[in-house]
Amino acid sequence: MQPDPTSPLLSSEGLVREFELPGGGLFSRKKSLRAVSDVSFFIGRREVLGLVGESGSGKTTIGRLVMRLLPPTRGRILFDGIDLTNLSGGALRSHRRRFQMVFQDPYASLNPRMRVREIVEEPLIVHGIGSGKAERRERVAHLLERVGLSSRDMERLPREFSGGGRQRIGIARAIACGPDLLVADEPIASLDLSMGAQIINLFSSLVESEGMSLLFISHDIPVVRYLSDRVVVLYRGSVVESGPTGQVFASPRHPYTRLLTEGSLPSEPVASGEIPSRHSPPDSVGSQEAGLCAFLPRCGDSLPECRTSPPIRYSDGKGGREALCHLLRGESDWLPLHPSSQGSPSDVPIAASR
Amino acid sequence: MGGEETLLRVEDLTVALETREGTIEPVKEVSFSVERGEAVGLVGESGSGKTLTGLSLLGLFPPGAKPPEGRILFEGSDLLSLSPSRLREIRGQKISMVFQEPQSALNPVLTVFTQMEEIYKSHTSLPSSDVRERILGRLREAGLPDPLTVSRSYPHQLSGGMRQRVMIAMALALDPLLVIADEPTTALDPTVALQILALLSRIRKSSGQSLLFISHDLSHVRRVSDRVLLMYAGRIVEEANSAIFFSAGPRHPYGRALLASRPEGATLTRKDGPLSAIGGQVPPLWDLPPGCAFAPRCERADDLCRFTRPSWQTKGEGRVFCHHPVDTPMGAPVHAA
């Protein structure tokens, strides 16, 4: 089966992931937290998609769903036209070499007892790449040089490297099988500035010269702006805005995106209140359960209907931009998008732990 | 007590540590001052010595540290030669600290109220009713909308941003003259970090405290500081007015390169070329080159830099520890063709 080269490499359709919260039991209903709520996006070939959000936005969960490290509660993930959602075991493993992950913490994601050669060689052995030891070793040497290390590093241990060096080892492991898609979750968050720039440049060259696609998960707006072609902005598990990076950040349409891109030092707190969390649940859990906009408690631009009806997803048509916000009603180029897929009140059981 | 003298003056502070690799000096000949009401940003990457410098001001030194050299003059008296009890008095009452991770700096088994009460009990003889009023007042000043509920909460019941606000309320409890904030925004989400920066600036402006803001985040330092100190491998390598540092650009090639390694505020994308990353990495402190510590990574370095230690070059309000400082204003900050 020859996949269509013009179709997206990966697309997610209506992804939902719920986590059961502790508590509940005999007489009370188990409560669950909806970490990812009706999330749809796609990643084109040779494209960098930035996934932006703060803690609790669901961005890490989405990365894990895409990697099939977690099964979705609802929705599907198509990789190159293949529905990964219901694959498991060997069937899933045969596709795994095509999408690989780079983790946030280069200290925790490498086995401290394994030598660099073994770490990078392991995926080659698992996926049966390279016919013998010598050939694999040659490939490892090549991979290390590709990520800016040296073949002399092969017999060293992770602890002998700085954070940036370890992240390079992680990237060498991820690209060992020549994947089509890399998923990188905050790959530079724990690195020093000068190291971060080197790693960003490395990702950039993997996309430009090896033709990989990249799902770049980060809360670092300037870096996402530099690196990604398109961006998806998440807030409390929902996509609040998406579109071509330049346009979204130059003229954000959702108040939350505007807040994220705020450039000047405000004399007063930028948004009132905190990001709701398990321990500081949103001001009105009731509004969450009614499917109202999750950003409402912090929004400075809210309209009367924001308090009474769920937000509507608008699209600018061919421009490829979308935003989930009542404020776009009546804007000339923006039209409401498939209202049938809007979450109905009973469909949004976000609950807090207390 | 004179109001005019410099609040804090650090002179040639050197902290040496015994390690397996030998004696290292994570803080080396560090000199700077903080005036009353001034906000000074101390910038550097990990291992640059910025946190240790901040801790030294509180008389806190890591295990294995040799007696520090130099002087730390606070309101004219040398903190390094004070008795432990005098030092304890100053620490807390006149100098306080906001830490990077409020979750590990707060006591998890005590309520916010109890922890703040302890500060007042150990440093003042205020009656309980006044203490209660002050605690609630400080929490409100720190931007917590419901001080009563927060004061009754345990740290784990609060979000990261709320915990950092509690830390700030605690740091301000006794109206200190100097607040040292060590990476106070690093563990926070970006929009919450902006709120905390705004809060720090607002409180400082209204109460006239001095602030030493330690961070690796250049954009945050830019937002709060009047003056910037840049550290590399244990030394301050540049001191500059913050506005000049960030507009005309740092004069030290390291500062210049650091600023250029972030796509900050620019509209360039990866299609415009790679970020101008600094090659190599910070040398280990037990194996510093004989000349300038940045020389192995510096594009401007020559043999003078490699073998001779730089000296301070002063210009206007600023100074730079470099043989060949950059004197052209910053051009395209991100681009590297």
Question: Is residue A280 over pLDDT 80?
Answer: no
Instruction: Report chain B residues whose CB lies below 8 A from the CB of A225.
Output: 263, 267, 269
Cβ within 8 Å of A, B 153-192? 156-162, 189-192
CB contact under 8 A, B257 and A198: no
Question: Is residue A338 over pLDDT 80?
Answer: no
pLDDT at res. A257: 94
Q: What average pLDDT score do residues A35-56 get? A: 93
- pLDDT band of residue B335 (cuts 50, 70, 90) is very low
Q: What is the pLDDT of residues B298-313, one digit of tens each?
A: 999 999 999 999 999 9
Question: Is residue A96 over pLDDT 80?
Answer: yes
- pLDDT band of residue A348 (cuts 50, 70, 90) is very low
B212 at interface of A, judged by CB pairs closer than 8 A: no
pLDDT at res. B264: 73
Name the residue ranges covered by the structural domains of chain B: 108-174
CB contact under 8 A, B274 and A204: yes
CB contact under 8 A, A275 and B223: no
SS in 3 state form for chain B?
CCCCCCCEEEEEEEEEEEECCEEEEEEEEEEEEECCCCEEEEECCCCCCHHHHHHHCCCCCCCCECCCEEEEEECCEEHHHCCHHHHHHHHHHCEEEECCCHHHHCCCCCCHHHHHHHHHHHHCCCCHHHHHHHHHHHHHHCCCCCHHHHHCCCHHHCCHHHHHHHHHHHHCCCCCCEEEEECCCCCCCHHHHHHHHHHHHHHHHHHCCEEEEEECCHHHHHHHCCEEEEEECCEEEEEEEHHHHHHCCCCCHHHHHHHHCCCCCCCCCHHHCCECCCCCCCCCHHHCCCCCCCHHHCCCCCHHHHHCCCCEEEECCEEEECCCCCCCCCCCCCECC
- State the nearest Cα–Cα gap between B270 and chain A, in angstroms: 5
Residue in chain A closest to B157 (alpha carbons) equals A279
Edge-first strand listing for the sheet containing A230-235: A99-102, A181-185, A213-218, A48-52, A230-235, A238-244, A322-324, A313-315, A335-336
Instruction: Report chain B residues whose CB lies below 8 A from the CB of A208.
Output: 270
CB contact under 8 A, B263 and A260: no
Neighbours of A339 (CB within 10 A): 8
- pLDDT band of residue A104 (cuts 50, 70, 90) is confident
Q: What average pLDDT score do residues B317-321 get? A: 95
pLDDT at res. A340: 46
Residue in chain B closest to A161 (alpha carbons) equals B281
Instruction: Report chain A residues whose CB lies below 8 A from the CB of B46.
Output: 192
Quick one: CA torsion of A110, A115, A121, A122, rounded to 10 degrees? -50
A147, A194, A210, A353, best to mutate vs chain B, most B CBs in 10 Å = A194
Q: Higher confidence at residue A25 or residue B69?
A: B69
Q: Which fold has domain A1-92+188-199+212-264+279-354?
A: Rossmann fold (3.40.50)
pLDDT at res. A352: 38
Question: Is residue A277 over pLDDT 60?
Answer: no
pLDDT at res. A174: 96
Whole-complex ipTM = 0.79
CB contact under 8 A, A194 and B202: no
Question: Is residue A354 over pLDDT 50?
Answer: no
pLDDT at res. B234: 96
CB contact under 8 A, B263 and A205: no
Q: What percent of chain B has pLDDT over 90?
A: 65
Size of the A and B interface in Cβ pairs below 8 Å: 124
pLDDT at res. B265: 63
Q: What average pLDDT score do residues A1-11 get? A: 76
**DSSP β-bridge partners for residue A260:** none
Quick one: CA torsion of B280, B190, A46, A125, rounded to 10 degrees? 60
Q: What percent of chain B has pLDDT over 70?
A: 96
Q: What is the pLDDT of residues A169-192, one digit of tens each?
A: 999 999 999 999 999 999 998 888
According to the per-residue pLDDT averaged within each range, which of A17-31, A282-296, B85-99, B236-250 is highest? B236-250
In angstroms, what is the C-alpha Rg of chain A?
22
Instruction: Report chain A residues whose CB lies below 8 A from the CB of B275.
Output: 197, 200-201, 226
Question: Is residue A26 over pLDDT 60?
Answer: yes
pLDDT at res. A286: 44
Instruction: Report chain A residues whose CB lies below 8 A from the CB of B218.
Output: 193
Question: Is residue A3 over pLDDT 60?
Answer: no
CB contact under 8 A, B262 and A162: no
Residue in chain B closest to A55 (alpha carbons) equals B189
CB contact under 8 A, A267 and B198: yes
Question: Is residue B329 over pLDDT 60?
Answer: yes
B143 at interface of A, judged by CB pairs closer than 8 A: yes
B144 at interface of A, judged by CB pairs closer than 8 A: no
CB contact under 8 A, B268 and A226: yes
* Average confidence score pLDDT of chain A: 85
Question: Is residue A2 over pLDDT 80?
Answer: no
Question: Is residue A64 over pLDDT 50?
Answer: yes
Q: What average pLDDT score do residues B249-255 get? A: 95
Question: Is residue B202 over pLDDT 80?
Answer: yes
* Exposure string for B112-136, b = 16+ CB within 10 A, e = fewer: bbebbbebbeeeeeeeeeebbebbb
pLDDT at res. A337: 85
Residue in chain B closest to A198 (alpha carbons) equals B277
Residue in chain B closest to A256 (alpha carbons) equals B191
Q: What average pLDDT score do residues B45-67 get? A: 91
Instruction: Record the tokens describing residue B114, joined without a space.
Output: 């109890």
pLDDT at res. B159: 84
Question: Is residue B336 over pLDDT 60?
Answer: no
CB contact under 8 A, B277 and A198: yes
- pLDDT band of residue B288 (cuts 50, 70, 90) is very high
CATH 3.40.50.300 domain extents, chain A? 1-92+188-199+212-264+279-354
Neighbours of B138 (CB within 10 A): 24
B257 at interface of A, judged by CB pairs closer than 8 A: yes
Lowest mean pLDDT among A126-135, A278-287, B29-38, B145-154: A278-287
Question: Is residue A284 over pLDDT 70?
Answer: no
